[in-house]
Structure 1
Amino acid sequence: MNSHSAVTAPPGPDDLQYIQYGPEKEAKYLGAIRDLIAKDLSEPYSIYVYRYFLYQWGDLCYMTANAAGELIGVVVCKLETHRGGPLRGYIAMLAVQKEHRGKGIATKLVCMAIDAMIAKDADEIALETEIDNIASIKLYERLGFLRTKRLHRYYLNGNTAFRLVLYLKEGTALKPTAPLYADDQMAAQYM
């Protein structure tokens, strides 16, 4: 049972569409996703990075389009076992066009992604954000994410990041994140 009580995203403007990514949407949206993220994030991602996420976890990626069908927001995520431990969701990229910020779009996209990962039985959700990205940090902390680590010079541009984690199940933070070796398993039996 999940101990996370999701924060309800604000409704946002009525003329927006929220769309779950799927392979059939690649031709229409992949270029727009790349362009939007390239404007906002400090990391230069190749087409292979986008395909890595979108081909395997497209169902965990959500987009916002305006009435004209123009992409104005996106969240790109994945979900996999973290180093032999918890099932970890990961928010890799989040971007909203500058003129559409402050309207609850990013919050709604993140909430949709969180709900999708909860439905797939995620134990936790993690992400990194630059320490000077106050709006992003506030958004995630409002949703229950905790700062767990400071990552010095994490980004290619030399900026430092915070790792933030949302624990969805009690005891997740205590789960080991590396498999025990055979000798450790034997030793554990005698302790």
Structure 2
Amino acid sequence: MQVHFLSLPQLFGGSKLYYLAIGDEDMSEDVQLSAELDKIALVENKQNEDKLSSYEPLLKDDQNNITFRQYNKESDLSSIMNLIDKDLSEPYSIYTYRYFIYNWPKLCLLAINEHEKCVGTIVCKMEAQSPNVQSGYIAMLAVEENHRRLGIGSRLVKLAIGLMIQDGCDEIVLETEVTNKAALALYEQLGFCRDKRLLRYYLNGRDAFRLKLWLTPRMSNGFL
């Protein structure tokens, strides 16, 4: 019996791939099942996208014609990827982006200019670090070069912090290259502290600083 593998993409969250092993004699029924499951996945994705698209903009900067909003449609993924891949030195696979964006869409923010182009983005997550600690993580932050020095990066970070506080976050963590003076200055102005130096953390061999922002008294006192 020859065995075939049918992929069921998107059915279980989009970023994972699940496979069915089937024989020749069962092929027609399983192909039909796969088609039906794909239809269900498409409907669920459309419903999720409709729900996300109902989010109101988080902030409008009328002076610079920039609107800050949460991720709300599939095309946002390519906009985020294009901006970050161009701006950051650390390469990411599409699965990394999907992991964050599909699981925490409310914590993935975009800055959109008057031409509906994404000129800034921040990608975050938040999950339980322990039974008593909710920990946020800033994975990526990028601003298009010709839109820098307009406060876009700072506003994206502040908005993300505010959303995590609303969800009961206790601390926020991130890493940045020790040579990235602009990023270090931005985060330290917002209250982040250098927690640890990570040797050869990045693929380019450079060190990183782990920065932390403690949001609750018990975390700032070192109680976990």
Fold shared by both chains (TM-score > 0.5): yes
Q: 2:126 aligns with which of 54, 57, 79?
A: 79
Q: Which residue of 1 aligns with 2:183?
A: 136
- Structure 1 unpaired stretches of 5+: 1-8, 177-191
- The question of whether the paired residues in 2 share the 8 Å contact of 1:154 and 1:160 is answered with yes
- Sequence identity percentage: 49
Q: 1:16 aligns with which of 44, 66, 70?
A: 66
The one-letter amino acid paired with 2:175 is E
Q: How far did 1:175 drift?
A: 3.0
Number of residue pairs matched? 164
Cα distance in 2 for partners of 1:84, 1:39 equals 38
Say whether residues 1:30 and 2:30 are aligned partners.
no
Q: Which residue of 1 aligns with 2:90?
A: 43
Structure 1 ranges of 4+ moved more than 4 A = none
- Structure 2 unpaired stretches of 5+: 1-58
The one-letter amino acid paired with 1:110 is V
Task: Give the structure-1-normalised TM-score.
Answer: 0.82
Cα distance in 1 for partners of 2:124, 2:62 equals 22
Cα distance in 1 for partners of 2:114, 2:174 equals 30
Larger-gyration structure (1/2): 2
Q: 1:97 aligns with which of 144, 149, 174?
A: 144
Q: Which residue of 1 aligns with 2:117?
A: 70
Seen in structure 2, the aligned counterparts of structure 1 residues 12 and 168 have a Cα distance that, compared at 3 Å, is: farther
Q: Structure with the greater relative contact order (CA < 8 A, sep ≥ 6): 1 or 2?
A: 1
Please provide the CA RMSD for this pair. 1.6
Cα distance in 2 for partners of 1:13, 1:37 equals 25
Cα distance in 2 for partners of 1:71, 1:53 equals 18
Cα distance in 2 for partners of 1:106, 1:21 equals 16
Q: Which residue of 1 aligns with 2:196?
A: 149
Name which of structure 1's ranges 50-59 and 28-37 shifts more when overlaid on structure 2: 28-37
Q: How far did 1:77 drift?
A: 0.2
Secondary structure class of the residue paired with 1:116: helix
Q: How far did 1:83 drift?
A: 5.0
Task: Give the structure-2-normalised TM-score.
Answer: 0.70
Cα distance in 1 for partners of 2:92, 2:131 equals 27
Q: How far did 1:14 drift?
A: 3.5
- The question of whether the paired residues in 2 share the 8 Å contact of 1:13 and 1:103 is answered with no
Q: How far did 1:40 drift?
A: 1.5
